């Protein structure tokens, strides 16, 4: 049991980062305002969690202009997808153990 927990990635410990990655792994690119709306986060809160994931190279940032307005979009990197999948696999293993009553 103790060994399984060491496979959880601390980058995804916070529910907001878990939510961001959940959205990004099923979409190619998602703009800032969509993430903000889907997760019901403030600008500051979202920005800090995005920065934490970017520093880990789990997400990529793309900035461009649409008309005269700047648009920032985010996408999961290959490393981010792999790390997130490993994290989810570990969570699933923990849930399986809990359901089977093997938490002793």
pLDDT digits (tens, 9 = 90+) for 14-58: 999 999 999 999 999 999 999 999 999 999 999 999 999 999 999
pLDDT, residue 66, reads 87
- Tell me: pLDDT of 103 over 80: no
Q: Where are the domains of the chain?
A: 2-99
pLDDT at residue 102 greater than cutoff 90 = no
The residue ranges of DSSP E strands in the chain, in sequence order, are 30-31, 59-66, 69-76
Residue pair 46/39 in contact (Cβ under 8 Å)? The answer is: yes
Name the percent of the chain lying above pLDDT 90: 84
Instruction: Give the residue-averaged pLDDT of 60-68.
Output: 93
Going by CATH, does the domain composed of 2-99 fall within 3.40.50.300?
A: no
Structure tokens at 64: 């461009």
């Amino acid at each position: 049991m103790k060994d399984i927990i060491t496979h959880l990635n601390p980058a995804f410990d916070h529910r907001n980062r878990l939510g961001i990655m959940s959205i990004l792994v099923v979409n190619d690119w998602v703009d800032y305002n969509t993430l903000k709306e889907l997760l019901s986060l403030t600008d500051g809160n979202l920005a800090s969690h995005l920065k934490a994931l970017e520093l880990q190279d789990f997400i990529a940032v793309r900035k461009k202009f649409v008309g005269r307005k700047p648009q920032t979009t985010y996408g999961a990197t290959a490393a981010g997808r792999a790390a997130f999948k490993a994290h989810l696999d570990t969570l699933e293993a923990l849930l399986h153990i809990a359901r089977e009553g093997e938490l002793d």
